Amino acid sequence: MSPGAAWIVRRILAGEAQPVPDASLPQAVPLAWKTGTSYGYRDAWAVGLNARYLIGIWTGRPDGTPVVGQFGFASAVPLLNQVNNLLLARPAMSRGGLPSDPRPATVSQGTICWPGGQDLPAGDSNCRRRLASWLLDASQPPTLLLPGQESVRGIRFPVWRNEHGERVAADCPGARESQVEVWPLPLDPWLPASERRRARLGPASESCPPLQTQDTAPLVLSGIRDGR
């Protein structure tokens, strides 16, 4: 991992995902942490990194017996914060000062649009949310496709519409092509009605319908059972 990528990930894990001016960036990074919970609530982990120490917390039972309701955020993070506070309060920490963590030259601030993940001109209908973001090497990679959950086109659909705004086949009279970006399919049930895939693509024409409606969820095979 490059220094720039590591810097961005660390800031995200420290709760500083939104870019701020360099003058407002804490030079000593707050505690960056990540949790983990094993299957059956057998282990709860929290690993954190402050300006000087790497801290690992595990809670569980030595014999591996499950503890129902135990998970990283509830069980391990409180202990992680206590250990972090004790370490930061040590006299040696205050005497020596904390190492700074300046922004690498490869990291810059930018603006991106969701769901596509890249910047778009003002007023573009595919920019459903505009957010500030850290950029690595000034690149803006598009939103990645989810294997097995999206079609070949992913979240970007070429759509032809008639003069009434209805979707039509490409060879229909007066058809005009446009590109529509939709949210990833797993988010659809939690989106407002106006942001769901069916609404974003719009109604199909009855007189000259498109060859594929593209507004229904694809069939996904998750497994096979004998006798079914």
User: What DSSP assignment string belongs to 118-154?
Assistant: B---TT-TT-SEEEEEEEETT--PPPPP-TTTS-TTT
Count how many residues are written for the chain.
228
82 and 58 within one domain? yes
Dihedral (Cα; 84, 88, 89, 94), 10-degree rounding: 180
Q: Which pLDDT does position 94 carry in this prediction?
A: 65
The span from the CA of 25 to the CA of 12, in Å, is 13
In a domain? residue 57: yes
Residue listed under structure tokens 């890249």: 118
82 and 38 within one domain? yes
In a domain? residue 171: yes
Please give the single-letter amino acid code of residue 129.
R
In a domain? residue 142: no
The count of domains in the chain is: 3
Question: What is the residue range of 184's domain?
Answer: 156-201
Residue listed under structure tokens 């804490």: 26
89 and 111 within one domain? no
Instruction: Examine the fold and report which residue of 41, 64, 93 is the final residue of a domain before the chain moves on.
Output: 93
In a domain? residue 121: yes
Q: Which pLDDT does position 69 carry in this prediction?
A: 85
The span from the CA of 65 to the CA of 35, in Å, is 20
Q: Which pLDDT does position 221 carry in this prediction?
A: 60
The span from the CA of 31 to the CA of 88, in Å, is 10
In a domain? residue 2: no
The span from the CA of 71 to the CA of 92, in Å, is 33
Q: Which pLDDT does position 23 carry in this prediction?
A: 81
Q: Which pLDDT does position 3 carry in this prediction?
A: 94
In a domain? residue 225: no
87 and 65 within one domain? yes
CB 181 within 8 A of CB 218: no
The span from the CA of 112 to the CA of 130, in Å, is 6
Q: Which pLDDT does position 68 carry in this prediction?
A: 87
Q: Which pLDDT does position 148 carry in this prediction?
A: 62
| pLDDT by 10-residue block (mean), the chain, 228 residues | 94 88 80 94 94 94 90 94 91 73 92 93 94 94 72 80 93 93 88 93 92 59 65
Burial class (CB within 10 angstroms; exposed 0-12, middle 13-18, buried 19+) of 222: exposed
